[in-house]
């Protein structure tokens, strides 16, 4: 089997942990840009998740010979017209704690009944292959915004994202459970299928 390396253009430790677990069966080593000694400083000024994922992947691909991937994701709350969406990381400021961001979103939904609390996590993954070819995939998980933070797993908005099938938030799911149903798990599995179509890249 061809053993290769995938450089993942993310600085988000929560994403990297999930991505490593989801990609474990590919036989490919997933390395964060930081661990690969690559520094990228990009402005995520795209209008879509796909554009932003490509901006990050292209920046790392410019200085790497490996396959490069990037994830751009976000939380879309229907009652808030899709906010925070592609601005999820920047909502209330990049350095603001998620305790504050989550409490703020919950308070903006005060008095809103269950059926109007619908939301989804969306994830686009972009890949730039060594020959310059570019791929993007997207997936989502549907859920509802809870009434308070619950659970300590995951990261970001997980403690307020309630998944009806499990009757739990994504922060109460184990990492394996989350990866089976999450936007990121689904998107990465789609990307694995895309990569299988290319020669010299073997995924199980
Ligand atoms: P990189 O750009 O370095 O990958 P980032 O955190 O800035 O890291 P994004 O621009 O894609 O990444 O922002 C995604 C944000 O959406 C992330 O910071 C979380 O706030 C939220 N988010 C995405 N996926 C999530 C998940 O699985 N669980 C909880 N929150 C999530």
* 25-83 tens-digit pLDDT: 988 889 999 999 999 989 999 999 999 999 999 999 999 999 999 999 999 999 999 99
pLDDT for 4: 80
Q: Which of 7, 12, 136, 182 to mutate to test the pocket of ligand 1 (most atoms within 8 A of CB)?
A: 12
CA distance 194 to 189: 9
41, 72, 78, 158: the catalytic one is: 72
CA distance 171 to 194: 29
Choose among 78, 3, 26: nearest CA to 191.
26
Is 89 touching ligand 1 by the criterion CB < 6 Å? yes
Q: Is 72 a catalytic residue?
A: yes
pLDDT for 28: 87
pLDDT for 147: 98
* 184-197 tens-digit pLDDT: 999 999 999 998 88
Give the contacts of 22 (CB within 8 A, at least 6 positions apart).
179, 184, 185, 188, 189
Quick check: 1 pLDDT over 50? Answer: no
* 123-170 tens-digit pLDDT: 999 999 999 999 999 999 999 999 999 999 999 999 999 999 999 999
Atom of ligand 1 nearest to the CA of 98: 20
Is 155 touching ligand 1 by the criterion CB < 6 Å? yes
Largest CA distance in the chain: 56
Quick check: 2 pLDDT over 70? Answer: no
Please state the rounded mean pLDDT for residues 172-188: 98
Distance from residue 122's CA to the centre of ligand 1 (Å)? 10
Quick check: 203 pLDDT over 70? Answer: no
Is 185 touching ligand 1 by the criterion CB < 6 Å? no
């Amino acid at each position: 089997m061809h053993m290769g390396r995938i450089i993942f253009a993310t600085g988000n430790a929560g994403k990297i942990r999930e991505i490593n677990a989801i990609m474990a069966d590919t036989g490919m080593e997933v390395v964060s840009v930081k661990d690969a000694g690559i520094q990228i400083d990009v402005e995520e000024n795209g209008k879509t998740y796909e554009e932003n994922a490509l901006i990050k992947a292209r920046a790392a691909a410019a200085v790497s010979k490996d396959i490069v991937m990037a994830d751009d994701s976000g939380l879309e709350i229907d009652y808030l017209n899709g906010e925070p969406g592609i601005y999820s990381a920047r909502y209330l400021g990049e350095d603001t704690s998620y305790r504050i961001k989550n409490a703020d979103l919950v308070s903006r939904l005060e008095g809103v009944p269950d059926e109007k609390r619908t939301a989804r996590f969306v994830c686009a993954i972009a890949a730039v292959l060594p020959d310059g070819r570019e791929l993007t995939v997207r997936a989502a998980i549907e859920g509802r915004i809870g009434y308070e933070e619950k659970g300590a797993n995951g990261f970001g908005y997980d403690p307020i994202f309630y998944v009806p099938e499990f009757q739990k938030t994504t922060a109460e799911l184990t990492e394996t459970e989350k990866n089976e149903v999450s936007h990121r798990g689904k998107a990465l599995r789609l990307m694995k299928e895309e990569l299988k179509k290319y020669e010299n890249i073997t995924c199980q």
